[in-house]
Chains A and B, each alone.
Chain A
Amino acid sequence: MSAPEINAQSVGHFGPYGGRFVPEALIAALDELAAAHESAQADPEFQKELDHLHATYSGRPSIITEAKRFAQHAGGAKILLKREDLNHTGSHKINNVLGQALLTKRMGKKRIIAETGAGQHGVASATAAALFGLECVVYMGEADTKRQALNVARMKLLGAEVVAVTQGSKTLKDAINEAMRDWVTNVADTHYLLGTVAGPHPFPTMVRDFQRIIGVEARAQVLALTGKLPDAVLACVGGGSNAIGIFHPFIDDKSVRLIGLEAGGDGIETGKHAATISGGKPGVLHGTRSYVLQDENGQTVESHSISAGLDYPGVGPEHAFLNDIGRAEYRAINDDQAMYAFSLLCKTEGIIPAIETAHALAGALEIGNELGPDATLLINLSGRGDKDVQTAAQYFGLPL
Chain B
Amino acid sequence: MSQALTTLFATTKSQNRAALIGYLPAGFPNQRSAKKIIKAMIKGGVDAIEIGFPYSDPIMDGPVIQAAADQSLANGTGAKEVFELLAHSVQLGAPSLVMSYWSPIERYGVAKFAAAISSAGGSGVITPDLTIEESGTWLAESTKKDIARVYVVAPSSSQARLALVTAQCSGFIYAASLMGVTGTRDAVSGNASDLVAKIRTTSNLPVAVGLGVSNKEQAREVARYADGVIVGSAFIKIIQKSGAGRKGLRQIKELAKSLSEGVRDAK
Contact = CB atoms under 8 A, between A and B. Distances in A.
A29 interface: yes
A302 to B, nearest CB: 9
Nearest to B60: A23
A187 B104 CA distance: 27
Contacts of A28: 156-158, 161
A186 B156 CA distance: 11
B59 A297 contact: no
Contacts of B8: none
Interface string B102-142: 11111110000000000000000000111111111001100
A271 to B, nearest CB: 16
Given A284-B106, A298-B105, A299-B73, A24 B151 contact: yes
Contacts of B59: 22-23, 177, 180-181, 184, 286
Which range holds the interface residue count of chain B? 35 or more
Interface stretch (A1-9, A213-221, A242-250, A350-358): A1-9
Contacts of B104: 297-299
A286 B60 CA distance: 11
Contact of B139 (A3, A20, A289): A3
A147 interface: no
A24 B179 contact: no
A276 to B, nearest CB: 14
A300 B139 CA distance: 25
A297 B106 contact: no
Interface residues of A, number: 46
A27 B70 CA distance: 27
B130 A21 contact: yes
Interface in A245-286: 283-286
A244 B119 CA distance: 45
A27 B79 CA distance: 29
A35 interface: no
B211 to A, nearest CB: 10
A184 B57 contact: no
A188 interface: yes
Given A21-B130, A184-B179, A297 B79 contact: yes
Contacts of B156: 24-29, 187-188
Given A7-B133, A184-B179, A298 B55 contact: yes
Contact of A287 (B55, B129, B152): B129
Interface string A153-188: 000000000000001100001100100110011111
7 contacts: A6-B132, A10-B134, A187-B179, A188-B156, A284-B102, A298-B106, A298-B107
Interface of A: 1-7, 9-11, 19-29, 167-168, 173-174, 177, 180-181, 184-188, 283-287, 289, 292, 294, 296-300
Given A168-B57, A186-B179, A300-B56, 16 more contacts: A6-B132, A6-B136, A6-B139, A7-B133, A23-B60, A23-B128, A23-B176, A24-B156, A25-B176, A27-B157, A188-B156, A283-B106, A292-B103, A298-B55, A298-B108, A300-B57
